Amino acid sequence: MPSSTFESLRVNQEIFLFVVISLVLLLNAFVSVALLRSGVYSKGQVVAQSAIVWLVPLLGAAFVGLFLLSQSTRQKASDRGSEHENWQNAEAKSFGESTGD
């Protein structure tokens, strides 16, 4: 094979490696910012989970990100439940029924 073929393969590998590393860094940054903004965890938990994200780059970000997503989904579901209860209480009060409060 001519040397130019090897050089083009090497350049393609370098570009691929650069793209992969960039994507991993973006994912880590995204999960870290989501952790900081979540307000669900204590400062110590945020520090520990951020350490996992950055020390185990791809798997750490995936696990912490999925766990964070599941917690926010749970929180939204419980918020919807309390909105539904508030609506039922208001409706019951408007019809003079007892709400159990």
Q: Give per-residue pLDDT as tens, 77-91.
A: 666 665 556 666 666
Cβ 89 vs Cβ 101: under 8 Å: yes
Q: State the chain's maximal CA–CA distance in angstroms.
A: 89
Q: What pLDDT is attached to residue 23?
A: 95
Kindly report the pTM of this predicted structure.
0.63
Q: What pLDDT is attached to residue 94?
A: 64
pLDDT, mean over the chain:
81
Q: What pLDDT is attached to residue 76?
A: 67
Q: Give per-residue pLDDT as tens, 6-64.
A: 778 888 899 999 999 999 999 999 999 999 998 888 899 999 999 999 999 889 999 99
Top-confidence residue, 92 or 65: 65
Quickly tell me which residue has 């590998």 as its tokens. Answer: 13
Question: Where does residue 39 fall: left (phi above 0), alpha (psi -120 to 50 degrees), or beta otherwise?
Answer: left
Among residues 67, 77, 63, which one has the least CA distance to residue 40?
Answer: 67
Q: What pLDDT is attached to residue 91?
A: 62
